[in-house]
């Protein structure tokens, strides 16, 4: 694979490739739409051809030939190993913890990786901005073996505390998941356009553990709404290979998606 330089890719492409790498060795992935779906499909087209993609529309083991435009895109059913009802996908497949990784996006995410996709503003009845809501995210965050969040960094999206907890990360810190009876391990990685954040093993606080090539620590920290800690073992994210970029662009190119 020819090496590439940061001039050769966009920050979004780096984010999707880094997210796809997070699925290496994973058997099954419950895929949210948008960035997670792009990364999951990239993983299946590159290093993880047998990755089982599960969508909340009830498709098990889909092998879409193009990037699905929604979690219920017909291509998911046509290429699925099995299509089950929506109640079954949540009750028989997600709830018992059969799915290794839940792959989520976020409108807002906080220091303890709690996710808000419900309302911006602190008054639920009179929100500043009404967001789409929970969808499948709360139970994906609760029941998958682990959760990976893919979200672009901005002061608006990375906040000290989310306005509304739609999906639980680590609550207010260690022990909360157990207290809530959540059986999955919770968010293991938050992959952004700047780098990778992971919960501190002791405090559960999201910490910068990897910088994407060409990004400085200052750049990574400036768009975070809390005093982001940097891991002593900070690494640099492996750059996308030319092959990965080719596959990714094939997936996201509008022509490829018709």
Catalytic residue numbers, as ranges: 56
Q: Is 16 in the site for other proteins (CB under 8 A)?
A: no
Expressed in angstroms, the distance from the first to the final Cα of the chain is 29
Q: Which of 4, 27, 188, 241 binds other proteins (CB under 8 A)?
A: 27
Q: Which residues in 222-251 contact other proteins (CB under 8 A)?
A: none
Identify which range of 177-185, 196-204, 226-234, 235-243 contacts other proteins by CB under 8 A. Answer: 177-185
Q: Which of 22, 109, 148, 165 binds other proteins (CB under 8 A)?
A: 165
Q: Show the tokens assigned to 170.
A: 């680590």
What contacts 28, CB < 8 A, 6 or more positions away?
Answer: 51, 52, 53, 54, 98, 99, 100, 101
Rounded CA-CA distance 67/79 in Å is: 12
Supply the minimum distance, in Å, between the C-beta of residue 89 and other proteins: 8
| Largest interatomic CA distance in the chain | 54
Q: Which of 8, 10, 24, 130 binds other proteins (CB under 8 A)?
A: 130
Pick the closer one to other proteins by CB: 163 or 244.
Answer: 163
**Among the listed residues 57, 4, 32, 8, the one whose alpha carbon sits nearest the alpha carbon of residue 151:** 32
Q: Show the tokens assigned to 74.
A: 């017909």
Supply the minimum distance, in Å, between the C-beta of residue 114 and other proteins: 8
Q: Helices 11-21 and 242-252: crossing angle, nearest 10°?
A: 110
Q: Which of 145, 171, 199, 239 binds other proteins (CB under 8 A)?
A: 171
Q: Which of 8, 24, 78, 216 binds other proteins (CB under 8 A)?
A: 78
Long-range contacts of 127-133 (CB under 8 A, 24+ apart): 131/107, 133/166
Which x/- pattern over 87-116 shows residues binding other proteins (rule: CB under 8 A)?
Answer: x--xxx-xxxxx------------------
Q: Is 118 in the site for other proteins (CB under 8 A)?
A: yes
Q: Is 120 in the site for other proteins (CB under 8 A)?
A: no
Rounded CA-CA distance 9/239 in Å is: 9
What contacts 93, CB < 8 A, 6 or more positions away?
Answer: 54, 60, 84, 99
Q: Is 58 in the site for other proteins (CB under 8 A)?
A: yes
Q: How many residues bind other proteins (CB under 8 A)?
A: 64
Supply the minimum distance, in Å, between the C-beta of residue 182 and other proteins: 7
What DSSP designation does 240 have? P
Contacts with other proteins by CB under 8 A lie at 27-28, 33, 52, 56-61, 69-74, 76-78, 81-87, 90-92, 94-98, 118, 124, 126-127, 129-139, 142-143, 164-168, 171, 176-177, 179-183
């Amino acid at each position: 694979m020819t090496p590439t330089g940061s001039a050769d890719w966009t920050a979004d492409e780096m984010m999707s490739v880094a997210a796809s790498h997070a699925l290496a060795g994973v058997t099954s992935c419950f895929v949210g739409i948008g960035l997670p779906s792009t990364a999951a499909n990239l993983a299946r087209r590159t290093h993880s051809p047998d990755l089982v993609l599960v969508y909340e529309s009830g498709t098990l083991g889909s092998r879409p030939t193009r990037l699905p435009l929604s979690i219920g895109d017909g291509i998911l059913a046509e290429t699925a190993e099995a299509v089950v009802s929506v109640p079954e996908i949540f009750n028989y497949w997600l709830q018992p913890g059969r799915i290794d990784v839940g792959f989520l996006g976020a409108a807002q995410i906080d220091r303890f990786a709690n996710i808000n996709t419900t309302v911006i503003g602190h008054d639920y009845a009179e929100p500043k901005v009404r967001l789409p809501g929970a969808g499948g995210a709360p139970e994906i965050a609760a029941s998958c073996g682990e959760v990976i969040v893919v979200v672009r960094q901005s002061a608006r999206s990375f906040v000290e505390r989310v306005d509304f907890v739609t999906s639980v990360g680590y609550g207010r810190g260690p022990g909360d998941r157990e207290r809530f009876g959540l059986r999955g391990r919770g968010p293991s990685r938050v992959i952004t356009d700047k780098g990778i954040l992971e919960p501190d093993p002791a405090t559960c606080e999201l910490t910068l553990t990897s910088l994407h090539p060409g990004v400085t620590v200052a750049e990574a920290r400036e768009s975070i709404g809390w005093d982001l800690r940097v891991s002593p073992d900070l690494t640099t994210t492996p750059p996308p290979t030319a092959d990965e970029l080719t596959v990714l662009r094939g997936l996201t190119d509008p022509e490829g998606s018709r």
